[in-house]
Amino acid sequence: MSDTPKSAPGPGPKSAPKKGPKSGPKPAAKPAASASEGDRIAKVLARAGVASRRDAEKIIAEGRVSVNGKVIDSPALNVTGRDKVEVDGAPLAAAEPARLWLYHKPLGLVTSARDEKGRETVFDKLPEDMPRVMSVGRLDLNSEGLLLLTNDGEVKRKLELPSTGWVRKYRVRVNGRPGDDTFEPLRRGVTVEGETFQGMSVTIDRQQGANAWLTVGLREGKNREIRRAMEAVGLTVNRLIRISYGPFRLGELKPGAVEEVKARVLRDQLGLEAPPEEAPKPTVVRSRKPSEQGRTRKNALAAKASGAKGGGFAAKPSGKRAGPARDGVPDERGGKGPGRSSGSKPIDRATGKPGGTFNRKPGGGRSRGSAGERTGGKPGSKPGPKR
């Protein structure tokens, strides 16, 4: 037996090494937009006025929205202005500034974009020049009054949230003769058919025959809430008019009429930011420099008018304050002493009345002469006729 070692086998086909589990986390898939970049697609659709955020999610689930040519079925996607968004094959319009309208909804109209029974909706009756809008909350078929309309889904969502805290007031006519204690359960909050209603304010305005008029205020708007709550205390609602929604009031708006809320009012009420081109200019406060003696022109003119009517002293518009009164007569010279105010007449020393002239002294000074001295007569004599 040979002690020589066996030669190693020649090179043959190499078998593929078995792949074991790789250590470390797998690289994450590259998202279309990072969480900090862009906005959720439902929010973008709502801002463009397509629908509210909740309805936009339904539209996405129905496969009616595409991003960059690819149909999406989940709202968990952020998009930016660089992405091409289409709804039902049409490009998404650019978002417009938020707008709000007051609409007096008449009886017999449905607050819905489409009605399965073919009834007329509030959107069928709006002016043709209005953009695409959505309603803030609802009023049922037999209710009337103030309905808010907006072109911005985010504004709609914000106004509908109970956390906004805005009170919605209604004029309600019920059949019966209720007393104030009838509504105590409603003020505390009631549960109707398993649904709990928050406490509402109820006041009796007047009794009109077999009916009573009430004013009802609530902070949430569940389906037919007032009608169902009144039925819980034995009353039937036969008319319901919404008269206000937070700071917005129906006022004298006629049934079927529409009135837009001013953009500045809307921004102030909702805390919205003004567009750059509409940013408010800084307020310039102009300070009025007080006059030498503190009298304003307004007071001077008032004093002048008073003097003209009553024959008393009228201050000049120059703003100088009259000096202390002497024997009941105000000093027109501002209290500077006789003869020293500009424009004043010299005082006749003999009579104490205005008169006389300023006479120049040889040394360049000036002295006053009385009326008698001016005419060559004795002091105190009457002046002669003017020539």
Return the active site residues. Answer: 140
Q: CA 11, CA 253: separation in Å to the nearest integer? A: 97
CB atoms within 10 A of CB 358: 12
* Positive/negative CA dihedral, 108, 148, 98, 264: positive
| Among 199, 208, 137, residue whose Cα is nearest residue 172 | 208
Q: Name residue 38's amino acid.
A: G
Q: How far apart are CA 166 and CA 159, in angstroms?
A: 8
C-alpha separations of 202 from 76, 189, 225, 247, 329 in Å:
44, 12, 13, 19, 66
DSSP string, 80-104: -TTS-EEETTEEPPPPPPP-EEEEE
Q: Enter the tokens of residue 54.
A: 């909740």
Which of 226, 252, 249 lies closest to 172 in space, CA to CA?
226
3-state SS class at 194? coil
CB 139 within 8 A of CB 147: yes
Q: Where are the alpha helices (DSSP H) in 145-259?
A: 153-160, 184-188, 225-232
| Distance between CA atoms of residues 52 and 37, nearest Å | 22
Supply the DSSP symbol for 236.
Answer: E
Give me the residue label for tokens 């003209």.
Answer: 308
Task: Report the residue count for the chain.
Answer: 387
Burial class of residue 148 in the structure, from the number of CB atoms within 10 Å of its CB (0-12 exposed, 13-18 middle, 19+ buried)? buried
User: What residue has token string 């909740």?
Assistant: 54
The three-class DSSP label of residue 243 is: strand
- For residue 195, what are the CA distances in angstroms to 36, 221, 223, 224, 264? 39, 13, 10, 12, 39
Identify whether the C-beta of residue 168 lies closer than 8 Å to the C-beta of residue 244: yes
215: nearest Cα among 203, 197, 227: 203
